[in-house]
Amino acid sequence: MRLATITDLVDSGGVLTPEVLLLNEMTGWHAVVLVGIHDNDTTAPLEATVRKVPLHHRRCCGTDETDEYEHMLTDYEEYMKELVSPLNDPPTWIVNLSGDTGRELYCNITPPDVIARLEGGHCWFCHGSRNICAGCTGGVAQDFDVFMSCGTDLACPNCMGIDTALEDKEWQKRYLMGDGFTAEEIRDRTKHLNRRLAELGYAPMKWRDHEADRMDRKAERRRARRKTQTTV
């Protein structure tokens, strides 16, 4: 998800984007579609008119269903076909694309963005922990192609994104195989995953930092013993 520019909203032929967008304003987040672009004169900033749509995150139980949902987010007419009860007389907003009206439009929306911004971070898979034990999910991890042995703290593919989870799966493989991670490498993973959490508006987590702390304490004890031996 990123801030939308005029080139994201309308192409060179004047065709409006079919994407579902997210509008951020002081009262909260809204799923919207673009109705029009207004260029009143050469000095005034461009304005976009958007209309609210009843966007809800479907319970995507795997990679295929998530891909299907992402595809629908790129074409609101296709998405509207899926709605059982569209909004009657939906609200509209005018958004100054210079960003000085307190309203911002975002494009490239993904399921984790919908969960974070519109669903209050409520994830049916990890229940808000942002990680899963990839060996204890009753078969759901297999649907997301992230199944592993027990004892993992894998980034949740549903609310943190499948790409993030698959990348973390590769890290977990090396970890479980005993590749000899350093405390710094463990903390680098924490920083990487916490950047993703920050993008989605979630609080940072410790992940496996306790193991890095344990490694540091062990290394400090070794240094202290060597120092004692050299002074004897």
For the cut 70, the answer to whether the pLDDT of residue 3 exceeds it is: yes
Q: Cα(219)–Cα(165) distance, rounded to whole angstroms?
A: 31
Question: Quick one: which of 79, 96, 65, 84 has its CA closest to 3?
Answer: 96
**186 contacts: CB under 8 Å, gap ≥ 6:** 207, 208, 209, 211, 212, 215
pLDDT of residue 83: 62
Q: Which residue has the tokens 């590769």?
A: 170
pLDDT digits (tens, 9 = 90+) for 108-142: 999 999 999 999 999 999 999 999 998 888 888 89
Task: Give me the residues paired with residue 73 across strands.
Answer: none
Structure tokens at 55: 């966007």
Question: From residue 89, how far is each of 38, 92, 93 by CA, in Å?
Answer: 22, 9, 13
How many Cβ atoms are within 10 Å of 76's Cβ, its own excluded?
Answer: 21
Question: Quick one: which of 16, 15, 47, 58 has its CA closest to 33?
Answer: 16
pLDDT digits (tens, 9 = 90+) for 151-180: 889 999 999 999 999 999 999 988 888 777
pLDDT of residue 152: 87
How many Cβ atoms are within 10 Å of 201's Cβ, its own excluded?
Answer: 11
* Lowest mean pLDDT, pick from 6-10, 19-23, 67-71: 67-71
* Lowest mean pLDDT, pick from 19-33, 86-100, 119-133: 86-100
Q: Cα(109)–Cα(1) distance, rounded to whole angstroms?
A: 5
pLDDT of residue 75: 84
**Global pTM?**
0.85
**Mean of the per-residue pLDDT values for the chain?**
86
